[in-house]
Chains A and B, each alone.
Chain A
Amino acid sequence: MKWLKFMVPALVLSLAAAGCILVSGQFLVDFALDDFDVSTESTVTREDVDLNTNEDYADHKDELKAIADIAVLGTLKNNLSGNIGIEVWMTATPTTYTTSTEVSNNATKLWGPFVVLGNASKTVDWNESANLFSGPGKALLLNEIKGDGQFTIYAIGNSTTYSVDVDNGVLAIVLDFGK
């Protein structure tokens, strides 16, 4: 029964060690994207993201520890008859690529492909979206979120010809904050 003398203090110590994780939480930060078109008939679509415009992010930036969950959301309308997979790519610094080849050669794939059937419209499901993130893209995003919070994202299609309207786009990130 001697082990009991050690077990209770050990458990108490374990809880004390957990003290540093006590003051923490998971907060949803969303960054709304302007409605845009993803099309081979125009230059590639990009959005310069500055998370500092989000009050929650700006207030808790120093306490940020990790990304707990993430999703690209919105409604995508495929204007052509063929199925299309939409992908989101990102660069850590501001960039101004104009073609999908430049993007895929120089940026890091963040998300996708999200498949939209020909001449159909589809709203991204959060659960499906959470599964479409690439490991390197998520790591880069976390690095930027912990850094200056500024990066550039691009949306491209994974076929030679495409035309997709993206409405109500949102980058939703659940951040792990802790003191």
Chain B
Amino acid sequence: MRKLFAIAALTSLVAAGAAHATGVGVGVFGGLSYPIIQDDVASGSMLGLRAPVSLAPMITVEPFYASSSLGDAEVTLGGLPYTREGFSGKAYGLNVMLGSPIGMGFKFYPIVGIGKYKLERTGTDINEVGYNIGLGIGIGATPKLSLQVRGELELVKTGDTSRKFGNATAGLTYSLMP
């Protein structure tokens, strides 16, 4: 129920903004996710969807959905090899970017975001708020299609600490408007 409410609130927010939008796009992305200072999980892949909505020349908001599959940690303990399965992750949230990632030319933009993150594996279920911050580059070869390359630091809150990931992604965004 809370999840539905959050999605509905997010959709309303973006829809309200989109009414004043100067640019709207949809995109897909994929890449790699690297756990930072985590002994019990290894790097893996991620993919997702996002929809940038330019609300003003300098501000773009972007709802996103991402799914990740992190790698198994392999360690030797007591002389025996052991494997701990990696997290299966899902996240949805909202990014805010300074500038617009879509359109012709070369765009460079900072990103901050907040979202709901779920990390699951046998014996562990993390369902918490997360934050991300990073930098992106948009390369528009045509007026409608652009390549997006991003590097982001993602923090998923776990009580007084966090699970941190460095994400490197690339994707394509199609401009629906203008």
Interface residues of A (CB under 8 A from B): 1, 4, 7-8, 11-12, 14-15, 18, 20-22, 24-28, 30, 32-33, 65-66, 68-69, 71, 73-75, 123, 125-128, 130-131, 133, 168-170, 172, 174, 176-178
Contact = CB atoms under 8 A, between A and B. Distances in A.
B158 A126 contact: no
Contacts of B155: 18, 21-22
Interface stretch (B3-11, B120-128, B138-146): B120-128
B98 to A, nearest CB: 8
Interface in B106-146: 112-114, 121-124, 131, 133
Contact of B96 (A8, A32, A65): A8
Contacts of B78: 30, 32-33, 73-74, 168-170
Given A11-B112, A25-B38, A32-B78, A18 B162 contact: yes
B112 A66 contact: no
Q: Chain B contact residues: over half helix, strand or loop, or mixed?
A: strand
B161 A176 contact: yes
Nearest to B20: A1
Nearest to B84: A126
A18 B124 contact: no
B40 A26 contact: yes
B82 A73 contact: yes
Nearest to A128: B122
A73 B81 CA distance: 10
Nearest to A35: B78
B122 A130 contact: yes
Query: Which of A1, A12, A22, A68 neighbours the largest number of chain B CB atoms within 10 Å of its CB?
Result: A68
Query: Which of A11, A26, A127 neighbours the largest number of chain B CB atoms within 10 Å of its CB?
Result: A26
B112 A15 contact: yes
Interface in B149-164: 155, 157-164
Given A66-B161, A126-B82, A176-B159, A11 B39 contact: no
Contacts of A26: 37-40, 161, 163
15 contacts: A15-B131, A18-B131, A21-B162, A22-B164, A28-B40, A30-B78, A65-B160, A66-B160, A69-B84, A69-B123, A73-B78, A127-B123, A172-B77, A174-B39, A178-B162
A131 B122 contact: yes
Contacts of A172: 77, 82
Interface in B39-82: 39-40, 55-56, 59, 61, 75, 77-80, 82
